[in-house]
Homo-oligomer: A and B are copies of this chain.
Amino acid sequence: MIDFNAFHKITYGLFIVSSGDRMKGNGFISNTVFQVTSDPPKFAVCCNKDNYTSGLIKNSGVFSVSVLEQETAPDILGRFGFRSGRDFNKLEGMSIRYGQTDVPIILNASIAFLECKVTQTVDTGTHLIFIGDLVQSEVLDKTKEPLTYLYYRQVKKGTAPKNAPTYIDKSKLETSKNVGQFKKYKCAACGYIYDEEKENIRFSDLPADWLCPVCGSEKSDFIEV
């Protein structure tokens, strides 16, 4: 038996993994960043092959990791987690530092960062694991706690996008209550579409304090389309 609820007992942080150079860069929200050796310090990130950033890491051979603070604003999570760098320039207007390798490092909502040079790439099926030697690391804010995936799910009511290694089709977590026609609801603030068919949960069944995963607007700001 596979109980998908067991997956939620594994603790992760939440990060922006970025790649590219001074001309073209992108980043995405990742929960799978981890140290693989201490001597020398090596770090790994796990990235869906379809992610725009995945191609940038392959081409440039570098990536950065920005460790998000606990109270990261929803627009940062929406910008980097639920939209694609193919559609718009995610880095525009962001606070960026370029690393020793010229990789962009996102400073918004970040309490620390790592900069790595890829030494190994592992194909795991839908995802690639990029393993890199640490080039530099720095703490940006000593006073703040890192955002954890649990906090994001429990307090922020956030979900994983389809490309995340930890994405769970909600129909696997509970018996689907969906019969008959599915509806779509649009966030009046940012235009995000909540699609009942994709989410497998009726919009009316979402908790009252559920927030738009892109911009953080309240449930009452959504209109049926």
Contacts and interface: CB of A to CB of B under 8 A. Distances in A.
A127 to B, nearest CB: 5
Interface string A69-83: 000000000000000
A35 B32 contact: yes
A161 B46 CA distance: 25
Interface of A: 1-7, 9-15, 32-42, 44, 46, 67, 111-114, 120, 122, 124-127, 129, 131, 134, 136-139, 142, 146, 148-150, 164-168
Contact of A112 (B9, B35, B120, B127): B9
Given A120-B124, A137-B2, A165 B7 contact: no
Main secondary structure of the interface of A (DSSP, over half): strand
B166 A38 contact: yes
A3 B131 CA distance: 19
B125 A37 contact: yes
A134 to B, nearest CB: 6
A34 B6 contact: no
A38 B112 contact: no
Contacts of A149: 11
Nearest to A145: B150
Nearest to A67: B9
B1 A138 contact: yes
Contact of A137 (B6, B34, B113, B129): B6
A6 B138 contact: yes
17 contacts: A1-B137, A2-B41, A2-B134, A3-B112, A3-B139, A6-B113, A7-B35, A9-B13, A9-B146, A10-B13, A32-B36, A35-B166, A38-B165, A39-B126, A42-B125, A120-B124, A129-B129
